Homo-oligomer: A and B are copies of this chain.
Amino acid sequence: MAVTFSISVSVDGYVAGPNQGTDHPLGEGGEALHDWALPLRTFREGHGREGGETGPDDDVLRETFERPGAAIMGRKMFGGGPGPWDESWKGWWDDDPPFRYPVFVLTHHPREPLVFDNGTTFTFVTDGIESALEQARAAAGERDVQISGGAQAIQQYLAAGHVDDFQLSVAPVMLGGGERLFEAVPPLDVEIDRVVATPNATHLRYRVRR
C-alpha cells in the first residue's frame, strides 16, 4: 500500500494555465494538458463512453485508475460549485464521477458525505491532511491512496513526507504561467522508477527514498 499521485504537467511545470476560473477550470491553455488522455479507452470508459485508443498511454492511465483503493483531493478539484459552498453541487462530474472508490475532500466547510451508485463516495474532511490520510488508508485497505490533486494538496502531502511514489505525465505544452506543481516542496531524495515515452506524453515515475 502506497501513498501516490499521478498528474499531468506541462514542460514548464504547470498543472493549470493562467487565469483559472469558472470559464477555464484548468486556466488558459490548460485543457491541452489532458490531450494525451482524452482519446484513450480508459478515459472514455471512466466517463461512460465506448471505444477509444489502446497502447502505452492507455496502459499508464488504466493503472492510475485501477491502483487506488481511495483518494484525497482538494476542494477546488472536487469543484467549489457555482457560488459559495453549495450543498446541491455534486462536483465537476455530475452523477457519474470516474472514481468508484471513496474520495476524501479537504475543505473547511463541513458537509454530509455524498454517495453515488457507481461506488464513488465523497467524504468532506475538515480536520486536516493527517486525518484525511488516516481515513483514506483505512478505506483503501491493501490498495493505494491516490492524492488526486490539485497542486496544493499534493504539495502538502509531499511536504509532510507521506508520498511514496509519484508519476508526472509531461504533456508537450508550454503554458507560460499558471499553477505550478512544485512550489514550497522541500528537497526530496528520489529515484527513477519507470519512464513510458510516447509521441503524446512522457510518463515519469519516481520513488521517494526515506
Which residues of B are found within 8 Å of A199, using beta-carbon distances?
191-192
A160 within 8 A of B: no
Within 8 A of B (CB), among A180-210: 180-182, 185-192, 195, 197, 199-202, 204, 206
- Confirm or deny: A174 has a beta carbon within 8 angstroms of a beta carbon on chain B: yes
For A186, list chain B residues within 8 Å (CB): 176
| CB of A81 closer than 8 Å to a CB of B | no
Report yes or no: A195 in contact with B192, Cβ–Cβ below 8 A.
no
Contacts of A96 in B (CB 8 A): none
Shortest distance from the beta carbon of A89 to any chain B beta carbon, whole Å: 31
Name which residue of chain B comes closest to A204, CB basis.
B202
**Dominant SS at the A interface?**
loop
The yes or no answer to A170 lying at the interface (CB within 8 A) is: yes
Shortest distance in angstroms between A27's beta carbon and chain B's nearest beta carbon?
11
CB nearest to A191 among chain B residues: B172
Q: For residue A195, which residues in chain B have a CB less than 8 angstroms away from its CB? A: 195, 197, 202
Complex interface: chain B residues within 8 A of A150 (CB): none
Q: Restricting to A58-75, which residues have a CB under 8 Å from any CB of B? A: none
Q: Indicate whether A106 reaches chain B with its CB closer than 8 angstroms.
A: no
CB distance from A157 to the nearest CB of B (A): 14
- Residues on A close to B: CB < 8 A? 11-13, 17, 29, 168, 170, 172-177, 180-182, 185-192, 195, 197, 199-202, 204, 206
- Give me 30 A-to-B residue pairs in the complex whose CB atoms sit less than 8 angstroms apart, sorted by A's number: A11-B182, A11-B204, A11-B206, A12-B181, A12-B182, A13-B180, A13-B182, A17-B187, A170-B204, A172-B191, A172-B192, A172-B206, A173-B189, A173-B190, A174-B187, A174-B188, A174-B189, A175-B187, A176-B187, A176-B188, A177-B187, A192-B197, A192-B200, A192-B201, A192-B202, A195-B195, A195-B197, A195-B202, A197-B197, A202-B202
